[in-house]
Amino acid sequence: MTELERYVAPTTLAAAIDCLKDGEVTILAGGTDLTPQTRAGRMRIKRTLMNIRRIPELKGIALDGGAIRIGALTTITEIMDSALIAKHLPVLVETCRHFASDQIRNAGTLGGNLCNASPAGDTAIPLLVLGASVELASKPEDKIYRRSIPLSEFFVGPGQTRRSLCELLTAVTVPLPAPGHVARFHKFGTRVGLDISTVSIGIGGTLKDGALAAARVAFGAVAATPLRAAQTEAALEGQRLDAAAIARIAAVARDEVHPIDDVRATAWYRKELIHNMTKRMLENVAQA
Amino acid sequence: MNVVAKKPRTIPESSLIGTRIPKMDAPEKASGRTRYIHDINLSGQLYGKILRSARVHARIVAIDTSAAKALPGVHVVLTAADVPDQRPIGVARDHFPLKGDRVRSQRDEIAAVAAESEEIAAAALKLIKVVYEDLPVIADPEDAIKPGAPLLHPAPAGAQPAGATVAHRGKADNIAMRFDYAHGDVVQGEAESDVVIEDTFKLHYVTHCCMGVSGMIAEFDASGSLLMYSNTQVPFLHKREFAEYLNMDPARVRIIQPPIGGGFGSKLDIYPFEVICLFLARAARRPVKLVFSREEEFLASPTRQPVLLTLRSGCKKDGTLTFRQVHTLHDNGAYTSWGATTPFVMMQTFSSLYRVPHCDYHTVAVYTNNPYAGSFRGYGNLQATFAIEQQMDEMAAAIGMDPLAFRLKNAQHTGEVTGQGMEFKSCGFTDCLNTAAQRSDFSRKFADNAAERNQPGHLKRGIGMASMLHVGGGAKIYPSDGCGTILKMDDFANVTLITGASEIGQGSETVLSQLVCEELGLPISALTVVNNDTAITPWDVGVHASRTTFIAGNSAIGAAKKAKTKILAVAAQKFGCTAEELDLRGGCVIKAADGEVVTELSKLIRNLHFSDKAELVMTTFYYEPPSVHQGKDYKGDVSAAYAWATQVVEVEVDTDTGIVRMLKVTGAHDVGRVLNRLGIEGQVEGGIVMGQGYALTENLMIENGVMKNPNFRDYKLITAPEIPEMDVSFIESMDGEGPQGAKGIGEAPAICIAAATANAIANATGVRLYDLPFTPERVYRALHGQTPKLYWKPWVPAA
Ligand SMILES: Cc1cc2nc3c(=O)[nH]c(=O)nc-3n(C[C@H](O)[C@H](O)[C@H](O)COP(=O)(O)OP(=O)(O)OC[C@H]3O[C@@H](n4cnc5c(N)ncnc54)[C@H](O)[C@@H]3O)c2cc1C
């Protein structure tokens, strides 16, 4: 049983963050993480349950100067169906195709996926590769205060982020990739549909003369948070992607991750997958 | 005025057999109207919940229920101490529904609550305090069987030495059951062999994952009679058993089975929750509904029997099989359910799938602190077939013979009587082998894949085959393997078929209606089936052993034939001819010679009813198959017919990840005869997918007695995109005893898949896997030499 006392469904951002001040508030977006977690007793619903789905400001995908702004309430399906995203951030569409099932994609939101902060959360990986930031809003006095932090600094541990209890994640912003930018996402699960990642890999950069510049690599499900892989990035940066280089970079990747054993896989196997899949993805990039 | 002579109407011959008939209950199910047990509510009902053990193996020192009892809305809280008359339950009568002194597995039931809502019942469970004293956990059956191992069922304090059951008197070792069978002389067989192969195989835990979780609603009426809504698969036997547990007259127990929820063998035994639900209803004097959560369904349902198996087989250079020697170690879990008895089926496969002159079979089922295994579609045959069919490929390779040719050489034929005494009156095995091989282009692909194995690239193709033998005409386990039918015809010539056969989703209503319509020349729409209620239907032994179509089908045909005889006799008298000159067709009485309509059947029936010698058409029939009970040596013709099948599986193996994709299954099934083509296709396709899950993804992980993945996130069922292409052929061997020639095939399609997949992976990669399931990591490890070869040295303690 919960101590739930109050259910609110504000229609403005201001009202929502006002309510958050209390500190004893559970935010509900699509509910696809919240429901199973509270049912299983892994999470407790606080005194107030706040449904944020009626706040128009949290919705929508738009080109905003040199960046694409994706509202926190945007569902995985909406990302998949967006022409704007398909044009500028195709890797995000690719990722969403491997995300859960239709039912979950129709309900699950981008904000929820990031705030849930699962090490195996899927959207974080391409967003890390794309250099995304998250926008957080709060209302310490009577004015709305917004801050932006790079996604690479957002995650702290499983289920933990740098969002404070009185902040709402309002949007994700992704700078428009440079011309010639390529990005790949690979999710490894034991079956095609409806699986939680055993490992996931994102690789991106600007392809010139068979090498990636401004290379970024991100791994999921191999650490307490989705993470950028600095050593792998350094090994990849500017290297012509011939067979020898690919083998070297894949080996760096394998050594860089320190996964754990769990019901889905052993650490050894995860490291093997990181190696083999990084290699396969780089071979694919080399042929692009 | 011209009078035109009215042309006599004729009805051409036609048959429903082999046609595609949609399930009669499909509209109800598709529109969500069919009621699961969850959907049934009785007024005034309470909600039951069970407190399970927090430990795997422990002594219960104290239980305090006072706070739970004090919670408003709680009506009853029960522990073993509150039910001093509880009787031991289970196949070996080795545990009590509510555990009093000791818990032996994670699922063990310690207390139960009946309350006004599920929430209150759940809150009450949290208020119950249990003090445990931990005991050593025995999680490995090999440890449990060692001399001096701690006992799972030591004699309880104050044990009655004369007590009849394990629960009362305890057990001096951890051996729950043992089976020893032999025909011929394996020593001689081995001496005659040119090749001898020995392997150990390890079969894992999976569970049924029925769409509906388990549940029961129990209500005692004012005069103390009991009504139960239960998904049991054996209502008549269980009615008697429940009565025994409640110390009441079985005549006052009535069971109604919801037609949906799922069985697959899981409801073949009585489990603690059911008896506990009855205790709660008795104590509360209110109806009690007890339905599992999905997590509880994983934790407290039976599993398929996990098996460690060492198989030694031999053959001659020309491909003739010489002997087989089998030792298995069954992990019984904490208590004994039907899983322990799977050797009944396993030994049939070892002794009789192929002609093998010498066979020796031993099983020891041992108690551990693991979940306990029950019956599950295939009943041990998936495990046995996994071992045998891999060794068939290994032996073929050892003597340089094509796997198909090797099997054909040793396959059984019609007329054969096996060493175990099974008599194959109809046997399409050779046709199954040839059909599946031809349709899948087996021999060419097998050779090509092996040749391409060492080419560069991470995707390897493989093809593998496996065959099976399974009972197809019931199985004489109980004093009777029969089924009763009551048939009545109303004055519109519509038939109500009251059958003992339970409909639990398998499509029995439709196929039984079809068989009756075929006899009586009626359209399917003329049939209404009444079933699933012990107060109404005649006796039946239950839904198991692939028996319903065969046994209940013959029973329904028997009742229909009696009705037909009566109708034709009346018609013959009325129209001044002999009964032989008449027949029934298209809802009419016709002339047998040319199909000319004599009268509408409904008119004839009304004439009979509303005459001075008023009479109704009502018949009964009880069918008992001509099978025999096996002797103590497990020999005898236990089924009235046997089903055969060969399945060929094609896979693609990714050597970078270990992912095995199942591309295609080509199956050839000897089904005797196809009755409802739509129904049998569905049955085979569903079975293939169940076999695929067993082979590739499903795995109940148990570590030190604790289940690691009691949820659908980490217990992976096959989902739609993974289902392979299927090409299924039916071999019609026209069984002489079967209804219209048909055999039962409910279990058959799930049996071969894992074995054929293992052979396909070996064909693709040259690496053979001996333990299931073939998850990516397990396959990857094996491909990279990280899997030491399994070996279990059979150790059979003295009897
Ligand atoms: C069957 C199934 C399959 C799944 N498969 C995948 C998968 O393949 N890949 C994957 O990554 N995930 C998967 N998930 C997890 C889940 O669907 C996703 O994480 C989803 O994006 C969560 O979004 P939501 O809107 O449903 O979040 P909710 O459940 O509503 O919220 C999740 C958490 O974030 C908080 N929160 C939500 N929105 C905000 C906000 N704007 N500001 C601050 N806090 C907020 C909530 O309080 C909660 O703690 C699966 C879940 C299920 C049930």
Q: What is the pLDDT of residues A30-57, one digit of tens each?
A: 999 999 999 888 899 999 999 999 999 9
Tell me, yes or no, whether B723 and B757 share the same domain: yes
Give the residue from chain B lying closest to A274, CA to CA. Answer: B657
CB pair distance less than 8 Å for A190 and B697: yes
Give domain status of residue B291, yes or no.
Answer: yes
Closest by Cβ to B657, choosing from A40, A196, A276: A276
Residue A251 banded pLDDT, cuts 50, 70, 90 = very high
DSSP one-letter string for B372-396:
PB---TTTTHHHHHHHHHHHHHHHH
Give B780's contacts in chain A (Cβ within 8 Å). Answer: 269, 272
Decide whether any atom of ligand 1 lies within 6 Å of the A109 Cβ: yes
Predicted pLDDT of residue A1: 42
> Does B657 contact A273 at a Cβ distance shorter than 8 Å?
yes
Interface test with B, best of A190, A196, A262, A281 (most B CBs within 10 A): A190
A35 CA distance to ligand 1 centroid (A)?
Answer: 9
- Mind listing the pLDDT tens digit for each residue in B310-326? 999 999 999 999 999 99
**Considering the domain boundaries, does residue B788 fall inside one?**
no
Residue nearest to atom 5 of ligand 1 (CA): A100
Q: Decide if B300 contacts B51 (C-beta within 8 A).
A: no
In degrees rounded to 5, what are phi and psi of residue A243?
Answer: -60, -40
**pLDDT of residue B798 exceeding 70:** no
Averaged pLDDT for residues B712-723: 95
Distance CA B776, CA B565 (A): 61
Answer yes or no: is B385 within a domain. Answer: no
Residue B52 has pLDDT above 50, yes or no: yes
What is the per-residue pLDDT for A194?
84
Residue B799 reports pLDDT greater than 80: no
pLDDT of the residue at A188: 93
Residue B79 near residue B110 (C-beta atoms within 8 A) = yes
Look at residue A23 in the predicted model and tell me its pLDDT: 87
pLDDT of residue A4: 86
Residues B566, B582 within the same domain:
yes
Alpha carbon of A32 to ligand 1 centroid (Å): 5
Range of the domain at B754: 426-470+641-783
CB-based contact A192 B119, cutoff 8 Å: no
Closest residue in A to B777 (Cα) is A269
The pTM (predicted TM-score) of the whole model is 0.96
A171 lines ligand 1 (CB under 6 A): no
Residues B718, A191: C-beta atoms closer than 8 Å: yes
What value does the mean pLDDT take over residues B59-71? 98
| pLDDT of A214 strictly over 50 | yes
State which ligand 1 atom lies nearest to the alpha carbon of A28.
30
Query: Which among B182, B616, B619 is positioned nearest to B360, based on CA atoms?
Result: B182
How does DSSP classify residue B35?
A: P
CATH number of residue B222's parent domain: 3.90.1170.50
- Whether residue A269 and residue B713 make contact (CB cut-off 8 A), yes or no, is no
Share of chain A above pLDDT 70, in %: 99
Residue B109 pairs in a beta bridge with B52
What end-to-end distance do the CA atoms of chain A give, in Å? 55
Q: Which residues of B touch A265 (CB under 8 A)?
A: 777
Residues B508 and B485: their CA atoms lie apart, in Å, by 13
Q: Do A1 and B119 touch (CB under 8 A)?
A: yes
| DSSP string across B163-222 | -SSHHHH--SSSEEEEEEEEES-HHHHHHT-SEEEEEEEEE---B---SSPPEEEEEE-T
Per-residue confidence band for B796, with pLDDT thresholds at 50, 70 and 90: low
In a domain, B12, yes or no: no
Q: Do B693 and B567 sit in the same domain of this protein?
A: no
Q: Is the pLDDT of residue B2 over 70?
A: no
> Do B534 and B658 have their domain in common?
no
Nearest one of A217, A220, A221 to A266, comparing CA atoms: A221
Contact: B708, A277; criterion CB under 8 Å:
no
Angle (deg, nearest 10), helices A267-286 and A243-256: 150
- Expressed in angstroms and rounded, the spacing between residue A4 Cα and the centre of ligand 1 is 20
Verify whether ligand 1 is closer than 6 Å to residue A160 (CB atom): no
Contact between B714 and A263 using a beta-carbon 8 Å cutoff: yes
Yes or no: say if B668 and B411 are a contact pair by the CB < 8 Å rule.
Answer: no
As a whole number of angstroms, the distance between CA B165 and CA B441 comes to 56
| Residue at a domain's end among B597, B623, B649 | B623
* Token duo for residue B144: 């449990």
Q: Could you tell me if B499 and B607 lie in one domain?
A: yes
Q: Ligand 1: does its nearest atom lie under 6 Å from the Cβ of A104?
A: yes
Tell me which amino acid residue B687 is.
Answer: G
Contact B37, B258 (CB under 8 A): yes
Q: What's the DSSP call for residue B96?
A: -
Same domain, B539 and B497: yes
Task: Say yes or no: CB of residue A135 within 6 Å of ligand 1.
Answer: no
Q: Mean per-residue pLDDT for B226-251?
A: 96
Q: Evaluate whether residue B77 is within a structural domain.
A: yes
Residues of B in contact with A272 (CB under 8 A): 780, 784
* Residue type present at position A35: T
Average pLDDT, chain B: 96
pLDDT classification of B444: cutoffs 50, 70, 90: very high
- The interface predicted TM-score (ipTM) is 0.95
When pLDDT is averaged across residues A149-155 and rounded to a whole number, the result is 98
Residue A67 and residue A23 in contact, taking contact as beta carbons nearer than 8 Å:
no
A195 vs B contacts (CB less than 8 Å): 716
Question: Which residues from B are below 8 Å from A196, CB to CB?
Answer: 713
Rounded to an integer, the average pLDDT of A142-152 is 96
Chain B nearest-CA residue for A270: B777
Distance from the B713 Cα atom to the nearest Cα atom in chain A, whole angstroms: 7
Average pLDDT over residues B363-372: 97
Q: What one-letter code names the amino acid at B454?
A: N
pLDDT at B17 over 60: yes
Where would I find the beta strands (DSSP E) of B519-670?
Answer: 527-530, 582-585, 588-591, 597-600, 618-623, 642-654, 660-670
Confidence of residue B97 (pLDDT cuts 50, 70, 90): very high
Q: How does pLDDT run across B114-147, given as a tens digit for each residue?
A: 999 999 999 999 999 999 999 999 999 999 999 8
Mark yes or no for CB contact A190/B776 under 8 Å.
yes
Q: Which residues contact B42 (CB under 8 A, 6 or more apart)?
A: B217, B219, B287, B289
pLDDT value of position B410: 98
**Which phi and psi angles does B4 have, rounded to 5°?**
-90, 125
Is A195 in contact with B716 (Cβ distance < 8 A)? yes
- Angle value at C-alpha B26, between B22 and B32, nearest 5 degrees: 165
Q: Both B129 and B241 in a single domain? A: yes
Question: Residue B436 is part of a domain; what is its CATH number?
Answer: 3.30.365.10
What's the average model confidence in pLDDT over B683-706?
Answer: 98
For residues A124 and A220, the answer to whether their CB atoms sit within 8 Å is yes
Residues B719 and B767 in one domain: yes
Q: What is the β-pairing status of strands B618-623 and B483-489?
A: antiparallel
In a domain, B377, yes or no: no
Pair A145, A139: CB distance under 8 Å = yes
Contacts of B781 in chain A (CB under 8 A): 269
The CA–CA distances, whole Å, from A54 to B34, B216, B378 equal 36, 41, 52
Mean pLDDT value of segment B77-88? 96
Which residue in A has a C-alpha nearest to residue B719's C-alpha? A193
**Exposed / middle / buried, residue B355 (Cβ in 10 Å: 0-12, 13-18, 19+):** middle
Closest CA to B443 of B406, B391, B389, B388: B406
- Nearest residue CA, atom 50 of ligand 1? A100
pLDDT at B304: 98
Confidence of residue B161 (pLDDT cuts 50, 70, 90): low
First-residue to last-residue Cα distance in chain B = 97
Nearest ligand 1 atom to the CA of A26 is 47
CB pair distance less than 8 Å for A191 and B697: yes
Average pLDDT, integer, range A137-162: 96
Give the end of a domain, one of B300, B322, B357: B300
Q: Please list every residue in chain A whose beta carbon sits closer than 8 Å to the beta carbon of residue B295.
A: 40
Instruction: Decide if pLDDT at B38 tops 90.
Output: yes
B121: nearest CA partner in chain A: A1
Q: Pick B777's closest partner by Cβ from A1, A194, A265.
A: A265
Rounded to whole angstroms, the Cα distance separating B530 from B552 reads 13
- Helix, strand, coil abundance in chain A, percent, nearest 5: 35, 25, 40
* Cβ–Cβ gap A196/B713 under 8 Å: yes
Where does a domain end: B254, B283, B300?
A: B300
* Under 8 Å between Cβ of B524 and B517: yes
Are B740 and B679 part of one and the same domain? yes
Chain A: residue whose CA lies nearest to B123: A1
Q: What is the distance in A from the centroid of ligand 1 to the CA of A151?
A: 17
Find out whether B339 and B708 touch, Cβ atoms under 8 Å. Answer: no
Tell me, yes or no, whether B608 lies in a domain.
yes
Answer yes or no: is the C-beta of A71 below 6 A from any ligand 1 atom: no
Residue B151 falls within a domain, yes or no?
no
Kindly give the distance from the C-alpha atom of residue A108 to the centroid of ligand 1, in angstroms, as a whole number. 6
Provide the 3-class DSSP secondary structure of residue B649: strand
Q: How many domains does chain B have?
A: 3
Output the six-digit token pair for B735.
């069984």
Q: What pLDDT, in 10s, does the model give residues B194-206?
A: 999 999 999 999 9
Half-sphere exposure of B466 (CA within 13 A, CB side): 33
What is the Å distance from ligand 1's center to A1 Cα?
22
* Cβ pair A88, A79 in contact under 8 A: no
Same-domain pairing of B677 and B766: yes
CA–CA separation, B715 vs A76, rounded Å?
25
**Same structural domain, B98 and B234:** yes
Residues B460 and B489 in one domain: no
Count Cβ atoms below 10 Å from residue B157 Cβ, excluding itself: 7
